[in-house]
Structure 1
């Protein structure tokens, strides 16, 4: 493809790409092991990720909490409140070698950007805990602030417009397949993220030289 050597900018998801996100790290040791295991399971019967998705889409915790109480009961609702109140504990580290990848991209003149599904009430914790990320990224679009979220086309288009980018010259890394599809549908080179080495190899295949 002729445009493969014209990548100018790389856009990154946050949790699962730049940051290690571990609900278990926040809850373990504070609540019964079996309850924590259920909450952290892919088929979580307590709906934590459903409620968190609503926050990511722009709803306030205060408007969601009564639904948690009604649908899950007071005990689970109390754990959900603890989780949101201690959200920084669910962000133990940046993922290995990702800060170095951002540094290398910037040093070689590429733009680096963030695009994340995240609540407007907790996103600030990412930059407070990892201030170097804030310094490295040229800008970040946060779903909960914009009240639109991946994989819908509108949030990708907003990011492109706000950052002044050409979709065909951008690469987007996300650890969720449907979000990669969403990026591809607006003309961005969406790539399913596995790790930093795979990201470098994928960029090299698109003509990015680091």
Structure 2
């Protein structure tokens, strides 16, 4: 990768550009033990599984009956509240990321988005943080395309749509399997931790900031 000049940097959204906190949406509205269970990695209520289906392109209206049948009316009502108040789960742009995007653009690099996100709620990201829409040159959204990281097709779609060469791209994601997916199509994937780490990774790949 270091022998091929980087021209473009692609970013995941939640956990990379945006702080995504399901707890921030639910705390104070529901009993804490229920919120704890929903936000746990092994959530018995399956919120992240249902949300993953939305990210892959399914509509909330089609998924909701499954939530009612599998989890019961009370939990299903919480899931509905979560989706209807999704902006509350996005409290901020992660520290340093807006500046990183601005610095990349200032130095002539392409800056792009590639996210697993429902077509029904993605607009909230740009409604709440319009500066991201201004900074990004374009974004591919899984729920719109009905494709899903880490499958190769969504990375290849982004490359084609944006007119990019895989070997000249760096991709940041906070999920390891999505980094692997990028690597498998020839993009240099980097597991994201924070803005400073991202800057250091880009510098090591010859990106001038």
In structure 1, distance between residues paired with 2:142 and 2:67: 21
- SS across alignment from 1:173: strand
Q: Say how many residue pairs are matched.
A: 209
Q: Which residue of 1 aligns with 2:13?
A: 14
Question: What aligned pairs does 1:169-208 form with structure 2 within 5 A after superposition?
Answer: 169-208=168-207
CA distance in 1, matches of 2:199, 2:21: 24
Aligned to 2:105: 106
**2:75 counterpart residue number:** 76
CA RMSD of aligned residues (A): 0.6
Deviations 1:86-131, CA, capped at 9 Å, x for gaps: 0000000000000000000000000000000000000000000000
Structure 2, gaps ≥5 residues long:
none
Question: What are structure 1's unaligned runs of at least 5 residues?
Answer: none
Counterpart of 2:114 in 1: which secondary structure?
Answer: strand
- Which runs of structure 2 are paired with 1:129-144 in the superposition (5 Å)? 129-144=128-143
TM-score, normalised relative to structure 2: 0.99
Distance 2:119 2:71 in 1: 24
- Over 6 Å off, 4+ runs: none
Counterpart position of 1:35: 34
Per the TM alignment, residue 2 of structure 1 is displaced from its structure 2 partner at its CA by: 5.1
Contact 1:112 1:138 in 2 (8 A): yes
3-state SS of 2:3 partner: helix
What is the DSSP-based 3-state SS (H/G/I as helix, E as strand, rest coil) of the residue aligned with 1:171?
strand
Provide Cα deviations, 1:6-60, integer angstroms capped at 9, x if missing partner: 0000000000000000000000000000000000000000000000000000000
Distance of 2:20 and 2:31 partners within structure 1: 20
